[in-house]
Structure 1
């Protein structure tokens, strides 16, 4: 991965791609007032630098099927580096785990999990939490409504806005 410095156009490209990565290079170039070859080169450079991890489709879970989403706090008995890494490796390998955050203070981990129903959550809890002797405490919060979901990161404004 190359290390790059970003200019205002790079920041605008990253913001535009976060909003809608399905646009063609020609559409993106037109929206940002760039030539298509310049736009493509810049996007490829941002990918090579690792600033764009991947592009995905965000699905409307509430329109597709019943999905039970839970935010789960996990506290471990031992918090040495090996124990934390071992637990993290196990949970991130599970497809039901959408997000895994190592946090402090409070619990050691906060997970966002999505399963089809409560029996599937119980199976997940057995698989990841109950069977792990190092898991001391599990506190799950079940979603009753998703008010907002926005994966877009706030980016610094370019120099034309007066901020950097």
Structure 2
């Protein structure tokens, strides 16, 4: 019950302010079922805007790196809240047009990070950046399944909320 209250409060606190216009290059565009837009029907985020959201980190082993690495960035649920997103499904798209469907509930249930830093350094496109959706694999044993690995999108550029 406390978790549900905290999540509701955090979603309210992030969405009660208008979304700023990006002051730099847009690195993430969110569209679909949104109540906050800053560019037509979209919510666009620069890296600076993502940096101003609460930052979270975890260290995890993944199939993509030989050793555990540290991921840092805003929670997926905080980015969705900033855009006033409400839905049941999220489509995450990468720069190379890779597309995966993520249940909206995953963003509530797990502290999924939109990583902007890998071991405290910005990620270049050739290194899975600049943004990477990463599940906290080492914190939840049930996430050690291919379905969750495929939902981890590197080179993230767009999110569509349905």
The alignment's TM-score, normalised by the length of structure 2, stands at 0.24
Taking CA–CA contacts closer than 8 Å with sequence separation of 6 or more, which of the two structures ends up with the larger relative contact order? Answer: 1
Larger Rg: 1
TM-score normalised by the chain length of structure 1: 0.24
In terms of fraction of residues, the more strand-rich structure is 2
